[in-house]
């Protein structure tokens, strides 16, 4: 798929612009603080109905205005969609082909994007919460059922934690209600873990390929899904459910004592291993960066398999972080395959030679 056209009204420092893109490589050049990242962010928001850099949607609207609008024409294999996202004081509205979507979860997933920015190093170096968020965002994009299970799980988690607090403070006594909540949350938790394992297996396969390519076969990348449920690889949803329930049963007193749900997908993590060693702990800067990039690029193929179409790739300031050889490998991997948006303060000789017919946008103060 590719984004053919985009109009921005009062989005960050863009007042009113209409841009027509290349289905292949689009290069956004500009000095610092001109709006390169803002433009990538607008594309991301159009796809995901949320920003990758802030949860405060007011920040997305121009300082001097109250409302912003992003419109895009998306060309898919078999259809052409007009996507619209309106950001106002009372929240956001999303439309597909002029029809307002009752739920944002219906809107998300029409347009698939993969974003890689310097802060994505946190995928390897950051806390487990960063990796869980990554998994949930990416898998949610390609599987509406996953997104649904996740939202149900979150609601139940809040209820269960609240109830555990009540029990802890002795404001409640009814353990049957706790068991009901445990049963419900285990059902959704099992679905989520099962899906994560399937997706991670697929992602691992492609990430291994990218890592090997970039490092000249020197580094073998492996994933390890870290969960309190035992022997997950031999289990199916039903068994995961039984196991989670058992965890809640055996640890009832501990959970009441802490007033919090201690087991389930919201506590899981995924570790990246290079040549069998955890890259978060033992990896060099370069290995960590390469791993983060490999994981992100692997998603291109996962999304292609899951949705039948290549996603749109957004690369923020990635080239400046890589040496010549890695820049070359990266550009080779994406050339001709996916629509790409690439920001850079300036075009180096290397990139000029490597990128075939880029469409170049010079960005200056939101113009
Ligand atoms: P760099 O090369 O440093 O990454 P950039 O071109 O990616 O720069 P952006 O992050 O896209 O820069 O844009 C930053 C500019 O946008 C800042 O000058 C900031 O003041 C401005 N800006 C951010 N939010 C808003 C907003 N809501 N309204 C108006 N301007 C904004
Ligand atoms: Mg930037």
Q: Look up the CATH number of the domain holding residue 179.
A: 1.20.1050.90
How many A from CA of 291 to the centre of ligand 2? 22
Residue 273 token pair: 């291993």
Is the pLDDT at 181 greater than 90? The verdict is: yes
Interatomic CA distance for residues 277 and 265, integer angstroms: 24
- Given the CA of residue 343, which atom of ligand 1 is nearest to it? 7
Q: Is 35 in the pocket of ligand 1 (CB under 6 A)?
A: yes
Identify the DSSP state of 222: E
Q: Which residue has the CA at smallest separation from atom 15 of ligand 1? A: 33
Band (pLDDT 50/70/90 cuts) for residue 18 is very high
Are 310 and 1 within 8 A, CB to CB? yes
Domain count, the chain: 2
- Is residue 118 situated within a structural domain? no
Interatomic CA distance for residues 367 and 15, integer angstroms: 8
β-pair type (14-20, 340-344): unpaired
Q: What is the mean pLDDT of the chain?
A: 92
Are 344 and 319 within 8 A, CB to CB? yes
Whether 342 and 354 share a structural domain: yes
Q: What is the pLDDT of residue 137?
A: 87
Tell me, what CATH number does 47's domain have?
3.40.50.300
| pLDDT, mean of residues 249-254 | 97
Whether 296 and 328 share a structural domain: no
Between 10 and 336, residue with greater pLDDT: 10
Whether 345 and 298 share a structural domain: no
Q: What is the pLDDT of residue 352?
A: 77
User: Which range marks the domain in which residue 105 is found?
Assistant: 1-112+309-367
How many A from CA of 69 to the centre of ligand 2? 21
Q: Which residue has the CA at smallest separation from atom 9 of ligand 1? A: 35
Q: Which residue has the CA at smallest separation from atom 26 of ligand 1? A: 12
Whether 177 and 268 share a structural domain: yes
Lowest mean pLDDT among 21-30, 103-112, 217-226, 352-361: 352-361
Q: Is 62 in the pocket of ligand 1 (CB under 6 A)?
A: yes
Q: Which residue has the CA at smallest separation from atom 19 of ligand 1? A: 33
Q: Is 131 helix (H, G, I), strand (E, B) or coil?
A: helix
3-state DSSP percent of the chain in helix, strand and coil, to 5:
50, 20, 30
Q: Consult the annotation and say whether 37 binds a ligand.
A: yes
Interatomic CA distance for residues 182 and 187, integer angstroms: 9
Q: Is 223 helix (H, G, I), strand (E, B) or coil?
A: strand
Whether 253 and 243 share a structural domain: yes
Residues 109-118 have pLDDT tens digits of 899 999 998 8
Q: What is the pLDDT of residue 350?
A: 64
Residue 324 token pair: 């010549």
Q: Is 328 in the pocket of ligand 1 (CB under 6 A)?
A: no
Express as a percent the part of the chain with pLDDT over 70: 98
Q: Which ligand is nearest to the CA of 117?
A: 2
Whether 159 and 52 share a structural domain: no
Are 320 and 296 within 8 A, CB to CB? no
- Is residue 53 situated within a structural domain? yes
Q: Consult the annotation and say whether 106 binds a ligand.
A: no
- Given the CA of residue 38, which atom of ligand 1 is nearest to it? 11
Q: What is the pLDDT of residue 247?
A: 96
Residues 144-175 have pLDDT tens digits of 899 999 999 999 999 999 999 999 999 999 99
Q: What is the pLDDT of residue 356?
A: 79
As for the ipTM of the complex, it is: 0.99
Q: Which ligand is nearest to the CA of 363?
A: 1
Are 284 and 10 within 8 A, CB to CB? no
Identify the DSSP state of 314: E
Q: What is the pLDDT of residue 351?
A: 73
Which residues lie below 8 Å from residue 225, measured CB to CB, with a gap of 6+? 196, 197, 200, 232, 268, 269, 270
Q: Consult the annotation and say whether 33 binds a ligand.
A: yes
Interatomic CA distance for residues 199 and 139, integer angstroms: 7
Q: Which residue has the CA at smallest separation from atom 4 of ligand 1? A: 32
| pLDDT, mean of residues 188-196 | 96
How many A from CA of 36 to the centre of ligand 2? 5
Between 358 and 234, residue with greater pLDDT: 358
Between 103 and 352, residue with greater pLDDT: 103
- Is residue 117 situated within a structural domain? no
Q: Is 233 in the pocket of ligand 1 (CB under 6 A)?
A: no
For a ligand 1 pocket test, name from 35, 44, 70 the mutation site with the most ligand atoms within 8 angstroms of its C-beta.
Answer: 35
φ, ψ at 212 (rounded to 5°): -65, -40
Q: What is the pLDDT of residue 234?
A: 67
Whether 130 and 242 share a structural domain: yes
Q: What is the pLDDT of residue 37?
A: 97
């Amino acid at each position: 798929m590719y984004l053919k056209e985009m109009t921005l009204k009062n989005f960050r420092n863009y007042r009113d612009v209409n841009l027509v893109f290349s289905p292949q490589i689009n290069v956004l050049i500009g000095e610092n603080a001109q709006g390169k990242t803002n433009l990538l962010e607008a594309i991301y928001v159009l796809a995901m109905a949320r920003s990758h850099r802030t949860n405060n949607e007011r920040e997305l609207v121009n300082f001097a205005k109250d409302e912003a609008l992003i419109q895009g024409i998306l060309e898919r294999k078999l259809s052409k969609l007009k996507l619209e996202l309106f950001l106002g004081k009372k929240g956001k509205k999303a439309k597909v082909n002029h029809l307002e979507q009752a739920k944002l979860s219906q809107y998300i997933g029409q347009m698939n994007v993969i974003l890689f920015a310097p802060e994505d190093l946190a995928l390897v170096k950051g806390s487990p919460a960063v990796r869980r968020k990554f998994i949930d965002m990416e898998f949610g994009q390609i599987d509406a059922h996953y997104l649904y299970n996740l939202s149900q799980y979150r609601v139940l988690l809040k209820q269960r934690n609240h109830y555990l607090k009540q029990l802890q403070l002795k404001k409640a006594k009814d353990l049957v209600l706790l068991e009901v909540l445990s049963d419900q949350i285990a059902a959704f938790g099992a679905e989520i873990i099962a899906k994560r394992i399937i997706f991670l297996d697929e992602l691992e396969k492609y990430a291994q390929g990218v890592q090997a390519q970039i490092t000249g076969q020197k580094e073998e990348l492996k994933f390890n899904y870290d969960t309190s449920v035992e022997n997950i690889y031999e289990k199916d949803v039903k068994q995961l459910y039984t196991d989670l329930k058992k965890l809640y049963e055996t640890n009832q007193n501990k959970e009441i004592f802490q007033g919090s749900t201690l087991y389930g997908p919201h506590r899981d993590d995924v570790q990246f291993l290079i040549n069998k060693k955890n890259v978060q702990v033992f990896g060099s800067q370069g290995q960590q960066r390469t791993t983060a990039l490999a994981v992100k690029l692997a998603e291109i193929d996962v999304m292609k398999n899951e949705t039948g179409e290549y996603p749109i790739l957004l690369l923020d300031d990635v080239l400046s972080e890589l040496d010549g050889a890695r820049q070359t490998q990266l550009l080779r991997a994406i050339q001709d395959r996916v629509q790409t948006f690439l920001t850079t303060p300036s075009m180096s000789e290397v990139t000029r030679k490597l990128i075939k017919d880029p469409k170049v946008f010079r960005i200056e103060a939101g113009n």
